[in-house]
């Protein structure tokens, strides 16, 4: 499983990129709005920093508008992936982008049929939202496992991005259940390296080292 970062914050993206594990970035309109910057300018900065896929979401609700917006986004840099919501209009747009060789990430996936439809329309990625399903008492991880099983069974190449990740257990379980990618907020990404025994071990090694005569 690969790691994407789920943010539009350029400092966090730069910091994560230094770790040598960053394969891409996902943004959404809420994350961009939090930054208070021009969307296109920020996408330029991100695509200069990260060579992997950078998802940029359209806000139009009709296919025609999505296609127009998506073409403009895709023109910013070759590694832009156009993020499209899971609707009937979204599927039409995904098909059009696929014909134009523009990569797509179909977002707001909450059941396996939505994932299968997106894949068949030509999506490069699908993003099932784990955390938001858990929030309403449904099993987000079961969705990842089901989508992975269906894609495997039907030899579908579309990659599964485990999204709406809230904590480290989501990350481990997404990997175990067949997600190709997890897109993770910076605070969760940083917490993945932590273990109290690692900290204690470092402290003890240093204390012993300093006892040397």
Give yes or no for a contact between 109 and 86, defined as CB atoms under 8 angstroms apart.
Answer: yes
Residues numbered 138 to 167 that lie near ligand E4P (CB under 6 A) are 163-164
Of the residues 2, 18, 34, 83, which is catalytic?
A: 83
Look at residue 102 and give its three-state secondary structure.
coil
Residues numbered 170 to 209 that lie near ligand E4P (CB under 6 A) are 183
Q: Which of 26, 81, 104, 114 binds ligand E4P (CB under 6 A)?
A: 26
Nearest 5°: CA angle at 116, between 124 and 63?
A: 65
Give yes or no for a contact between 105 and 86, defined as CB atoms under 8 angstroms apart.
Answer: no
Q: Which of 3, 5, 6, 67 binds ligand E4P (CB under 6 A)?
A: 6
Q: Does 83 participate in catalysis according to the annotation? A: yes
Q: Supply 110's token pair.
A: 């909450």
Residues numbered 77 to 136 that lie near ligand E4P (CB under 6 A) are 107, 127, 129, 131-132
Residue 36 vs 196, nearer CB to ligand E4P: 36
Neighbouring C-beta atoms of residue 43, cutoff 10 Å: 22
CA distance 78 to 179: 24
- Which residue numbers are catalytic? 83
**Binding region for ligand E4P (CB under 6 A):** 6, 26, 28, 107, 127, 129, 131-132, 163-164, 183
């Amino acid at each position: 499983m690969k790691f994407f970062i789920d943010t539009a914050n350029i400092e966090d993206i730069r910091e994560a990129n230094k770790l040598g594990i960053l394969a891409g970035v996902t943004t959404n309109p809420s994350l961009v709005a939090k930054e208070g910057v021009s969307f296109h300018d920020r996408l330029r900065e991100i695509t200069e920093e990260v060579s992997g896929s950078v998802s940029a979401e359209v806000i139009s609700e009709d296919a025609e508008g999505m296609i127009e917006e998506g073409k403009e986004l895709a023109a910013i840099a070759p590694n832009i992936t156009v993020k499209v919501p899971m609707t009937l209009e979204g599927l039409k747009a995904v098909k059009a982008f696929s014909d134009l060789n523009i990569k797509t990430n179909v977002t707001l996936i909450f059941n396996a049929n939505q994932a299968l439809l997106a894949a068949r329309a030509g999506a490069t990625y699908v993003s099932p939202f784990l955390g938001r399903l858990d929030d309403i008492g449904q099993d987000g991880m079961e969705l990842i496992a089901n989508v992975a099983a269906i894609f495997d069974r039907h030899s579908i190449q579309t990659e599964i991005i485990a999204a709406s990740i809230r904590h480290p257990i989501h990350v481990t379980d997404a990997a175990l259940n067949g997600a190709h990618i997890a897109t993770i907020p910076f605070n969760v990404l940083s917490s993945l390296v932590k273990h109290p025994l690692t900290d204690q071990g470092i402290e003890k090694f240093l204390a012993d080292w300093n006892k040397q005569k």
